[in-house]
Structure 1
């Protein structure tokens, strides 16, 4: 089985202060996303009523996201996200209930269960909500370009 490098640290703007929690959140999320054994941990990145849209597929709420996540691995043996750049902004105040929104782009290398290799470019939009000091996705949408 092929092995992908283990670096999930994207570039952030250098002309402004960036919340370190966002940097850590993004890196940990993609690392978790690429591990098929971490389905429940992956769900922990989302609010119970979160919405996810990837390409033409979508889900809402914990059970919907759980099924969505299982479907992600149905035909995939291995995958490696490379989040390249993140463009964050804060909206909605500070403290509990605050929102952080970001746009990002990156690439995805994957190997299907039948051995096919694919390289996909993607861009996305995410809305994170601060819940008792922890960031969680409220909304996550990814646009794919094969």
Structure 2
């Protein structure tokens, strides 16, 4: 896997996932991100889904929220804020958050894979930004 930055779309895996989403209609993207979230399990393990895909899917949802539309996501996917039907259902935002928590509450190996501690903290901050946007959509706190 190639990772070139701390953002949710800054890896080969995330970019491949986004390329697949880009080819779908808005309703097809909705199905795809929902399927990604359902593929996670409570213990964060799944042979079908990678952490970078979960982050990318959750960031797509966050980008399509009113507060997310004003943030810069990726110049390669500048139209990501228009990828999902509006308004985004709060249940989808909650599902995205639950998937992130499932994958990252037990997956410290993902965080240890960062060579540079500063970049690891930048990546955590980016993930926290996505989580904050998702929480704002459904009024949720941390589980």
> TM-score, normalising length from structure 1?
0.28
When you count helix as a share of all residues, which structure comes out higher? 2
When you count strand as a share of all residues, which structure comes out higher? 1
> TM-score, normalising length from structure 2?
0.28
Larger RCO, structures 1/2 (Cα 8 Å, 6+ apart) = 2
